[in-house]
Structure 1
């Protein structure tokens, strides 16, 4: 189970749990109540359900293929549109943008087609240079997807500001991308995000866990709880992200979640005084 928050005035703890975790919790005989508002079905707007005016790069190069999505985004993308857009970033801006597939998901390992996709942005993206690397990744919990759209918008913002010399942030973003590599993964758990849609076209009733019903965020080695803190074997997603980290020295990384306003820093799960 994962703690959402604690109210010291009422001594109430709010938690998330899947069916297996909830069943185990009930065996402890602790009083609880289920918040119906957090478990009710809620519809969301998808990119294939509204009229999407495709944004192309015709202003700068008429020969370039149009984007799959419109920016800034006003709807959640279907998985197919998401994957197509990630490739379109590279196809339209190959000098500064590269789409990188770091591996399949738990569902993908058994025949599914969902992948873990990054866009790498840099002034000379095809050349390995002695530059600091930064990584952003979002929605490891499949039902926390505000960051999913936010990261897609961020990629578009970086590209637009870098290439448009009249953009108010051009000088700042040009300096950033000319002197670093920025890796962005908008969706770290596509199996969870599209869990309730066999066609991968809706994020309505998405779930926290991956295709194996494992919370990826609890599946990584932990400095306190050891190599397997959740008691599960490493998932396909976990292995892919650990391999990526082993092969790239990221000097800064951020993992975006949803549900509350809080920033967790490395090692803030222990109260040991180090100095």
Structure 2
């Protein structure tokens, strides 16, 4: 009798133990797709997703009011390189504050624009804290650190520390309507979010913002895993598999820039190189990442920057340091790579908002309305050879001019252990008997060399006069060393 009374209590404790375990699948956008009827987490309502965030866990994090104060304090302290503005309000009417950082923050320029978004999910607050640290680092190091100066003077950086301030206050994943904002965007495969009347105000604010600012690239910061995620996030048949977008190679490069610059993201045992295709990890639909790429021409990554969704505040300085160079290098890569230019009308000479495409990639980038400027991210050119260190470089293409590019690769120390390929003359370059001549045939080689030398002298005299009137011009070949 006593045992039967204990059974319900034991089952309840066991259920609580399992539900309290952290799940990485919830980091990017909700429950595992297998739990959603095979439709990759279509549901935007998260009535069952209310994690218990205690006051002890929240201690040390800025409240919404404190974050708002910190943003305006930053704007006052760093007014020479920043402006503060709002893109809208949350369900509970809290302003969605943005910090713009640039050497000309109140002016339109023909420069690439990048946005960072934090706190997309209310129970993932690490991004809002890290982004404020990024803003302050750039302000403190401008004109002191070369990387900070490069970013401030060549990019218009926009930082939205908290997309979901209501969810943060409520200590749950969704917004005040308990809607997962990373399921609320229009989807390329399914029309579940096409009803504008049901779209959340935070989502509308982001969509209007993207259409207004013409961002080149962006990243949203999440918690619950340690990986750089790139499109596509879903598949047409809702299957879980690798599903690359037209710019798959470029996105992999961007994700690798972040992962390789991170303290330990690239060492992940779960994700090779610390990066993953979203649909290969687990499909989601209505995500912000894919919508940015399709409708905004904006190359967006979803960055999971903390294994724990809500780590202790004491860990925030370490998390910031682990991600600092990743964030800075991702921004710098926007300047140091890609193709940048402007589009003009031939008849008026005025800039026009045309578009740019790269052959072989079914995706176009539109130019800005004001300056007709475009910024096309491209994967770097890389030369490689077994036994040598790989080398990459950038090329500048001018109108009606081709560029020849030579690479000089450095040995990696393993050349002597490998057999080099045979050259066009049939010799093996690693053969120590390459110039060995048998004694009985020495006279033949000497006679041949004498004849060749005589012919060389005769032709040299004959060609000397011709070279005075006929010169061959050859374009200088750029060499990557």
Fold-level similarity (TM above 0.5): yes
Give the shorter-chain TM-score range: 0.5 to 0.7
CA contact (8 A) 1:138 1:257 kept: yes
Query: Which residues of structure 1 form unaligned runs of 5+?
Result: 24-33, 50-74, 109-113, 196-205
**Cα gap change, 1:230/1:89 in structure 2, threshold over 3 Å: closer, same or farther?**
same
C-alpha offsets along residues 2-26 of structure 1, whole Å, 9 cap, x if unaligned?
x8439xxxx9978999996567xxx
Question: Which residue of the partner structure matches residue 67 of structure 1?
Answer: none
Query: Which residues of structure 2 form unaligned runs of 5+?
Result: 1-22, 27-31, 236-242, 247-359, 361-481
Q: CA–CA distance in 2 between the matches of 1:228 and 1:160?
A: 42
Q: CA–CA distance in 1 between the matches of 2:44 and 2:183?
A: 16
Shift of 1:45: 5.9
Question: Which residue of the partner structure matches residue 147 of structure 2?
Answer: 172
Q: CA–CA distance in 2 between the matches of 1:232 and 1:211?
A: 16
Question: Which residue of the partner structure matches residue 84 of structure 1?
Answer: 69
C-alpha offsets along residues 211-253 of structure 1, whole Å, 9 cap, x if unaligned?
1111111001112223607998111101110000000111110
Shift of 1:95: 1.2
CA contact (8 A) 1:141 1:189 kept: yes
Q: CA–CA distance in 2 between the matches of 1:179 and 1:5?
A: 37
Shift of 1:132: 0.3
TM-score, normalised via structure 1 length? 0.67
**Cα gap change, 1:267/1:101 in structure 2, threshold over 3 Å: closer, same or farther?**
same
Question: Which residue of the partner structure matches residue 54 of structure 2?
Answer: 42
Q: CA–CA distance in 1 between the matches of 2:70 and 2:113?
A: 23
Aligned positions of 1:220-231 closer than 5 A: 220-226=185-191, 228=193
**Counterpart check, 1:99 vs 2:84:** yes
Q: Greater helix share, 1 or 2?
A: 2
**Cα gap change, 1:44/1:227 in structure 2, threshold over 3 Å: closer, same or farther?**
same
**Cα gap change, 1:18/1:207 in structure 2, threshold over 3 Å: closer, same or farther?**
farther
CA contact (8 A) 1:192 1:208 kept: yes
Q: CA–CA distance in 2 between the matches of 1:142 and 1:230?
A: 24
Question: Which residue of the partner structure matches residue 114 of structure 2?
Answer: 134
**Cα gap change, 1:240/1:17 in structure 2, threshold over 3 Å: closer, same or farther?**
closer
Of the three residues 102, 122, 145, the one matched with 1:122 is 102
Q: Cα RMSD (Å) of the superposition?
A: 3.3
Question: Which residue of the partner structure matches residue 190 of structure 1?
Answer: 165
**Cα gap change, 1:119/1:12 in structure 2, threshold over 3 Å: closer, same or farther?**
closer
CA contact (8 A) 1:218 1:230 kept: no
